[in-house]
Amino acid sequence: MLIYQTLGLLFLAGGIVSAQSFIETVPKMPDPSKKYLFYLHGAIIEQGDLTPTHPEFGFYDMPEIRSVLADHENLVLISEHRPKGTQIADYAVKVADDINMLIKSGVAAKDITISGFSKGGMIAILTSSIMQNKNLNFVFMAACNNWAIEDDEIKVAGRILSIFETTDTIGRSCKALIDKSPAVTEYKEVEINTGKKHGAFYEPVPEWIEPLKAWLGE
Q: What percentage of the chain exceeds 70 in pLDDT?
A: 90
Q: Is residue 46 part of a domain?
A: yes
133 versus 10: the higher-pLDDT residue is: 133
Mean pLDDT of 112-130: 99
Q: Is residue 182 part of a domain?
A: yes
Q: Which amino acid is at 141?
A: M
* Side-chain half-sphere exposure of 81, counting CA atoms within 13 A: 14
Q: Is residue 183 part of a domain?
A: yes
Q: Is residue 12 part of a domain?
A: no
* pLDDT tens digits for range 60-82: 999 999 999 999 889 999 999 99
Separation of alpha carbons 6 and 10, rounded Å: 6
Q: Is residue 8 part of a domain?
A: no
Q: Is residue 141 part of a domain?
A: yes
Q: What's the domain range around 163?
A: 20-217
The full length of the chain comes to 218
Strands 137-141 and 53-54: unpaired
Q: Which CATH number belongs to the domain containing residue 36 in this structure?
A: 3.40.50.1820
Please give the pLDDT value at position 103: 98
At residue 201, φ and ψ (nearest 5 deg) are -105, 10
Q: Is residue 24 part of a domain?
A: yes
Q: Is the pLDDT of residue 115 over 60?
A: yes
Mean pLDDT of the chain: 92
Q: How many domains does the chain have?
A: 1
Q: Is residue 10 part of a domain?
A: no
Please give the pLDDT value at position 218: 57
